[in-house]
Amino acid sequence: MSARTVIAVCECFGTLGRALPRRDLEAGLSARLAGARIEFFPGLCRAGDLDRLAGLLAEEGAAACVAAACSPFARGREVLAGLEERGCAAALALADLREGCAWLHAQDPAGAVAKAADLAAMARAGLERRGRSPRASLPAVQRVLVVGAGPAGMAAAGTLAGLGVPVTLVDRQDRPGGLLRQIGRLFPDNIPSQDFLAPLEEELGNPLVSFLPKTTLAGLAGDPGRFRARLANGAGESELEAGAVVLACGAMPVLPEGRYRAKDLAGVISQMELETRLRRAEAEPAGWDLDAAVFIQCLAARDAERPYCSTVCCPTALKNALRLKALRQDTAVSILHRGVMAPGVALEELYRRALAAGVRFYGFAPESPPEVLGQGRAAGVQVRDAFSGRSLDLPASLVVLSTPLKPQPALEGMARALGLRLDSLGFACGREPVAPLAAATPGIFVCGSARWPVYAAQAADQGRAAGIKAAALLASGELDPAGLGLPGPWPGTSAVRSAACSRCGQCVAICPYNACRREADGSIAVSAARCRGCGACAAVCPSGAAAVPESNGPSLRAMLREAMGGAPGVDL
Residues interacting with another protein, by CB under 8 A?
332, 351-352, 355-356, 358-360, 362, 385, 387-388, 390, 392
Residue 48 identity (one-letter amino acid): G
- Smallest gap from residue 345 Cβ to another protein (A): 15
Nearer Cβ to another protein (249/359): 359
- Smallest gap from residue 358 Cβ to another protein (A): 5
Dihedral sign from CA coordinates of 355, 404, 306, 452: negative
Nearer Cβ to another protein (198/356): 356
Q: Is 248 helix (H, G, I), strand (E, B) or coil?
A: coil
Nearer Cβ to another protein (23/390): 390
Residues whose CB is less than 8 angstroms from the CB of residue 258 and which lie 6 or more positions away in sequence, other chains included:
none
Element (H, E) at 85: helix 77-85
Q: Is 529 helix (H, G, I), strand (E, B) or coil?
A: coil
Partners of residue 516 on adjacent β-strands = 526
Dihedral sign from CA coordinates of 557, 558, 562, 565: positive
- Smallest gap from residue 355 Cβ to another protein (A): 5
Nearer Cβ to another protein (368/543): 368
- Smallest gap from residue 334 Cβ to another protein (A): 10
Query: Cα 10 to the chain's mean position, in Å?
Result: 39
In whole angstroms, give the CA distance from residue 550 to residue 494.
9
Cis peptide before 199 (omega within 30 of 0): no
Partners of residue 406 on adjacent β-strands = 252
Angle, CA of 530, 140 and 515, to the nearest 5°: 15
Nearer Cβ to another protein (271/397): 397
Cis peptide before 433 (omega within 30 of 0): yes
For residue 554, CA distances in Å to 126, 463, 545 come to: 8, 49, 13
Angle, CA of 30, 120 and 53, to the nearest 5°: 80
Q: DSSP label at 551?
A: G
- Smallest gap from residue 394 Cβ to another protein (A): 10
Nearer Cβ to another protein (352/518): 352
- Smallest gap from residue 395 Cβ to another protein (A): 11
Tell me the CB-side half-sphere exposure of residue 508, using CA atoms within 13 A.
12
- Helix, strand, coil percentages in the chain from 3-state DSSP, rounded to 5: 35, 25, 45
Residues whose CB is less than 8 angstroms from the CB of residue 32 and which lie 6 or more positions away in sequence, other chains included:
117, 118, 120, 121
Nearer Cβ to another protein (237/393): 393
Beta carbons of 245 and 290 less than 8 angstroms apart: no
E strands, 364-521, where? 371-375, 377-384, 391-395, 398-401, 405-407, 444-446, 495-496, 516-518
- Smallest gap from residue 313 Cβ to another protein (A): 20
- Smallest gap from residue 352 Cβ to another protein (A): 7
**Rg of the chain taking only CA atoms, in angstroms:** 32
- Smallest gap from residue 317 Cβ to another protein (A): 16
Pairing of strands 167-170, 209-212: parallel
Nearer Cβ to another protein (91/359): 359
Nearer Cβ to another protein (29/394): 394
Nearer Cβ to another protein (106/356): 356
Nearer Cβ to another protein (104/386): 386
- Smallest gap from residue 201 Cβ to another protein (A): 39
Beta carbons of 92 and 84 less than 8 angstroms apart: yes
- Smallest gap from residue 249 Cβ to another protein (A): 38
Nearer Cβ to another protein (388/424): 388
- Smallest gap from residue 486 Cβ to another protein (A): 53
